[in-house]
């Protein structure tokens, strides 16, 4: 990875104790930034390595009453969702004059009752014809973006981050999560997605990792362990930061501990 002039934002690399510690305190940091009005919710992108981590971040944001929206590609649909999707496509490809429009179309297909389409519908105004609604839904389930006028913080996957933000917070930058797998082509795709996420930050970039995770979680998430320890009668896996950080060279500052990071921002 060439790191020459890669990052334009101020960078902090932070290491936490475990995933719970990481997510809770990153969300505290974001809440503090929002409370001080240094940044608006839609100007922050919270980036997660996978759906599970994104869901945990959303839960922590809800606890802290931060307006946040999961902005994630739809990976799987139920049979009912697939049926509604096929019917919408058929309407879009059929005669426009005979197809329902606007909210009549949305309600008729039950799109507003199905989670697969909830994010896409945020991009509609209820007046679209079948062809326009199909284009929006088809694009948003594959490449979700934040609705233009929504004042909420997007939670995105590393590989799906679009656009630029004043602040980008990258969680769980740990080998096994970022990158995941061993396939060479997939590894390069993840490397390029990581670079795009770094470059998406205009003013502030937080690159976060943790040092240990419950051994059962590590196994389930395919996070390799450098070694194992027993802490408080629980087996934990000691894990390594993402190899992509080392590839940044001089552009990656020294990592600070979570408590030091919190003290620097008057949150300790």
Looking at the domain assignment, is residue 1 inside a domain?
no
Q: What is the CATH number of the domain that holds 167?
A: 3.40.50.300
Looking at residue 74, its pLDDT comes to 84
Output the pLDDT for position 204. 94
Report the phi/psi class of residue 126: left, alpha or beta, with left for phi > 0 and alpha for psi in -120 to 50.
Answer: left
- Residue 3, pLDDT score: 44
Beta strand pairing status for 44-48 and 165-170? parallel
On whether residue 3 sits in a domain, the answer given is no
> Residue 5: what pLDDT?
62
E-state strands within 54-115: 68-70
Task: Identify whether residues 244 and 182 lie together within a single domain.
Answer: yes
Domain of residue 205 covers 10-73+150-264
Same domain, 89 and 176: no
Calculate the alpha carbon distances from 136 to 30, 70, 88, 119, 144 in Å: 30, 17, 11, 10, 10
Looking at the fold, whether 51 and 176 belong to one and the same domain comes out as: yes
Single out the residue of 196, 246, 172, 168 nearest to residue 9, CA to CA.
168
174 and 240 in contact (C-beta within 8 Å)? yes
Task: Please report which helix (H) or strand (E) contains residue 46, including its range.
Answer: strand 44-48
Q: Is 88 a member of any domain?
A: yes
Domain-terminating residue out of 142, 169, 190: 142
Question: Is 98 a member of any domain?
Answer: yes
pTM of the model: 0.82
Distances (CA, A) of 174 to 11, 18, 186, 260: 17, 11, 16, 20
According to the model, what pLDDT value does residue 2 have?
Answer: 46
* C-alpha span between 132 and 138 (Å, rounded): 10
Total number of domains constituting the chain:
2
Give me the residues of the chain with pLDDT under 70, please: 1-5, 148-149
């Amino acid at each position: 990875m060439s790191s020459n002039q890669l990052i334009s934002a101020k960078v902090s690399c932070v290491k936490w104790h475990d995933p719970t510690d990481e997510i809770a305190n990153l969300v505290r940091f974001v809440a503090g930034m929002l409370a001080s009005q240094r940044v608006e919710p839609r100007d922050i992108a919270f980036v997660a390595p996978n759906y599970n981590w994104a869901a945990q971040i959303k839960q922590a944001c809800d606890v802290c009453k931060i307006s946040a929206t999961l902005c994630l590609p739809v990976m799987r649909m139920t049979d009912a969702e697939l049926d509604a999707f096929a019917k919408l496509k058929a309407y879009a490809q059929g005669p426009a004059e005979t197809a329902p429009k606007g909210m009549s179309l949305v309600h008729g297909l039950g799109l507003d009752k199905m989670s697969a389409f909830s994010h896409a519908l945020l991009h509609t105004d209820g007046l679209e014809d079948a062809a326009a609604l199909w284009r929006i839904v088809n694009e948003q389930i594959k490449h979700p973006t934040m609705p233009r006028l929504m004042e909420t913080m997007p939670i995105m996957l590393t590989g799906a981050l679009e656009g630029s933000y004043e602040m980008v917070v990258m969680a769980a930058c740990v080998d096994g999560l970022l990158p995941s797998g061993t396939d060479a082509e997939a590894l390069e795709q993840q490397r390029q997605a990581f670079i795009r996420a770094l470059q998406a930050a205009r003013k502030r970039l937080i690159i976060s990792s943790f040092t240990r995770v419950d051994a059962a979680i590590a196994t389930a998430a395919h996070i390799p362990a450098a070694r194992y320890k027993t802490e408080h009668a629980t087996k934990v896996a000691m894990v390594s930061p993402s190899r992509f950080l080392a590839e940044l060279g001089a552009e990656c500052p020294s990592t600070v501990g979570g408590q030091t990071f919190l003290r620097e921002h008057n949150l300790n």
